[in-house]
Chains A and B, each alone.
Chain A
Amino acid sequence: MSFLSLENISHYYFSKKDFTKALDNISFSIKEGEFVSLVGPSGCGKSTILSIVAGIIQQTSGNVLLNKKPLKRSELAIGYMLQQDYLFPWKTILDNVLLGPKIHNNKSEEVKNKATELLYEVGLANVADAYPNALSGGMRQRVALVRTLITDPKVLLLDEPFSALDYQTKLKLEDLVYQILKTYHKSAILVTHDIGEAIAMSDRIYVMDANPGTIAKTFEVPIEIRNEMPFTSRRHPKYQNLFDKVWEELNQNDTATPI
């Protein structure tokens, strides 16, 4: 049964002189606990999809349904993780994590304990009172993950959350995020440029086309790879096979930039 579904989403961006069709008739759905990835060239509207699901921008047409009901912003079903951590530099780590609960006027002891617990779980037990600038990039992104998880969202939107990190940190964080999402049985939509990351983490991959943004092709990730942690799945024999297929599909679409 589909949990979150997008039905015929189209979106336009308007400017004084011009308008662009960013998304054309996008439909897909995910089941509870499922992890899907969107890959595609820059400007294909991947991030726009996330912003629409998050309720930050209103789509021109189409519906976003959660449990078959239109998604309302107040429901808080959505957690959003951006490319950079965007921790607030004037708040301590704990206050950053408690930002979501604060917006909903829920600063109970219970939430605070949960924050401490989650911080411990991502390996950041001793930094609650530190300020973000004292932390490394990987640590900050882990804080951002906890900030997203604390409101207990049903769906996580990951907008290239690993792309600003160094390679080693990125691989470790992929494993951590994967593990946490599986533990709490969360659904997630990942936007990425990294084909390997998409294969290693997701159950399904949507390859997108640009101008206007459409879904060009859907790849199911083999069950053997799904069951592995992201790091080890890169060593799976079927990994390379799928990588080549996605690569080919992307290159087929990519006529604009010959190298």
Chain B
Amino acid sequence: MDKKTDQQLFEQYKQKLKRERKIVFTWQFMILIVFFATWELCSRLRWIDPLIFSSPSRIFVHLKNKIVDGSLMIHTQVTLFETVLGFIIGTLLGIIIAVTLWSSTRFAKIMDPYLVILNAMPKVALGPIIIVAIGPGYLSIITMGAIISIIITTLVVYSAFREVDPNYIKVLQSFGASRWQLFKEAIFPASLPAMISTLKVNVGLSWVGVIVGEFLVSKEGLGYLIVYGFQVFDFTLVMSSLILIAIFAAIMYKVVEKVEGWLIKHTG
């Protein structure tokens, strides 16, 4: 008898969780619907200028046409390619620089003021120089996507390296471990959570770098579509690109979140 009521209480609890989830989802969905419905309505009734703010239906039609003729795929692919590559290169280089800083305390001290300056400097301001130096094309845009996250990754990861509990080092030193062994056995695995959390930040940063890069110079990509739409005053095009960016940035973020979960599970 007693056991049964325990089970019932548990069921009750599960029901409650389920209901809560449903309510949250319903609200989320409603906000989305209301937002697009209001946008559409305002545009149709000309409360807002449809030439500037377009409307969901126009964007939908536009996206459909562009998907059918294949041109949208190309632009999206280009931007995604640049962003993913910029993200990976930026993160990896940041971590590698952090490792070199850790490997020599003197080097870290020497580099300190330069890192501070580089970190404080808005990296997109380097855009024109990068484009002139590397040439207009994928390469400079990928560089933009990477450079924006390198320094911050370096700083975050390097400080994580230094915050590892010195007693782990002491244990290893009592076994006579070399500096490389200290790094491999304690510093790196202990800092993995910090490294993983930089991934999420870097996803957002890489999008900024790539879109700005495409603004400055490019013949393809979603950033290019935004600038092009702006120049020819086709705001349906601008809005479509924005929506695509939002969708893909969110997807990439979710993917990184999954990778993060997997890494945490498999490393500790």
B175 at the A interface (CB under 8 A): yes
Among B171, B174, B190, the one with the most A-chain Cβ atoms within 10 Å of its Cβ is B174
Please name 18 pairs of A and B residues whose Cβ atoms are closer than 8 Å in the assembled complex, sorted by A. Answer: A55-B174, A74-B176, A76-B175, A76-B176, A78-B174, A79-B174, A80-B170, A82-B171, A86-B167, A86-B168, A86-B170, A88-B186, A100-B175, A103-B176, A103-B181, A104-B175, A147-B171, A151-B175
Give the complex CA separation of A234 and B189 in angstroms. 43
List residues of A (64-103) whose CB comes within 8 Å of B's CBs: 73-74, 76, 78-80, 82, 84, 86, 88-90, 99-100, 102-103
Give the complex CA separation of A44 and B157 in angstroms. 36
Give the complex CA separation of A32 and B167 in angstroms. 28
* In the complex, chain A residues whose CB is within 8 Å of the CB of B167: 82, 84, 86
Give the complex CA separation of A71 and B176 in angstroms. 12
* In the complex, chain A residues whose CB is within 8 Å of the CB of B181: 103
* In the complex, chain B residues whose CB is within 8 Å of the CB of A215: none
A73-B176, A88-B189, A103-B181 known; A80+B171 contact, CB < 8 A: yes
A39 at the B interface (CB under 8 A): no
A54 at the B interface (CB under 8 A): yes
B contacts with A, residue count (CB < 8 A) = 19
A1 at the B interface (CB under 8 A): no
**Which of B170, B171, B173, B268 is in CB contact (< 8 Å) with A89?**
B268
List residues of B (165-187) whose CB comes within 8 Å of A's CBs: 165, 167-168, 170-177, 181, 185-186
B267 at the A interface (CB under 8 A): yes
Give the complex CA separation of A255 and B44 in angstroms. 88
* In the complex, chain B residues whose CB is within 8 Å of the CB of A73: 176
* In the complex, chain A residues whose CB is within 8 Å of the CB of B172: 99, 103
Interface string of B139-176 (1 = CB under 8 A from A): 00000000000000000000000000101101111111
A56 at the B interface (CB under 8 A): yes
Of all A-B residue pairs in the complex, the 7 with the closest CB atoms, nearest first, are A90-B268, A80-B174, A100-B175, A103-B175, A103-B177, A90-B189, A86-B167
Give the complex CA separation of A56 and B185 in angstroms. 17
List residues of A (176-224) whose CB comes within 8 Å of B's CBs: none
Give the complex CA separation of A89 and B167 in angstroms. 13
* Given A55-B174, A78-B174, A99-B172, 10 extra CB contacts under 8 A: A55-B176, A56-B174, A82-B170, A82-B171, A86-B168, A88-B168, A90-B267, A90-B268, A151-B175, A157-B174
Chain B residue at smallest Cβ distance from A96: B171
**Which of A51, A76, A86 is in CB contact (< 8 Å) with B171?**
A86
Which residues of B are interface residues toward A (Cβ below 8 A)? 165, 167-168, 170-177, 181, 185-186, 189-190, 192, 267-268
Interface string of A19-33 (1 = CB under 8 A from B): 000000000000000
- Beta-carbon contact of A54 and B174 below 8 Å: yes
Give the complex CA separation of A90 and B192 in angstroms. 10
- The binding surface of chain B is classed by DSSP as helix
B242 nearest CB across to chain A (Å):
42
Interface string of A50-61 (1 = CB under 8 A from B): 010011100000
* In the complex, chain B residues whose CB is within 8 Å of the CB of A100: 175
Chain B residue at smallest Cβ distance from A79: B174
* In the complex, chain B residues whose CB is within 8 Å of the CB of A89: 268
Give the complex CA separation of A87 and B166 in angstroms. 13
Chain A residue at smallest Cβ distance from B176: A73
* In the complex, chain A residues whose CB is within 8 Å of the CB of B267: 90
- Beta-carbon contact of A54 and B173 below 8 Å: yes
Chain B residue at smallest Cβ distance from A153: B174
Among A79, A80, A103, the one with the most B-chain Cβ atoms within 10 Å of its Cβ is A103
Give the complex CA separation of A157 and B171 in angstroms. 12
* In the complex, chain B residues whose CB is within 8 Å of the CB of A56: 170, 173-174
* In the complex, chain A residues whose CB is within 8 Å of the CB of B176: 55, 73-74, 76, 103-104
B105 nearest CB across to chain A (Å):
16
Give the complex CA separation of A84 and B171 in angstroms. 11
A90-B267, A90-B268 known; A99+B185 contact, CB < 8 A: yes
Chain A residue at smallest Cβ distance from B192: A90
A191 nearest CB across to chain B (Å):
14
* In the complex, chain B residues whose CB is within 8 Å of the CB of A99: 171-172, 175, 185
- Beta-carbon contact of A88 and B185 below 8 Å: yes
* In the complex, chain B residues whose CB is within 8 Å of the CB of A102: 185
* In the complex, chain B residues whose CB is within 8 Å of the CB of A151: 175
Give the complex CA separation of A151 and B176 in angstroms. 11
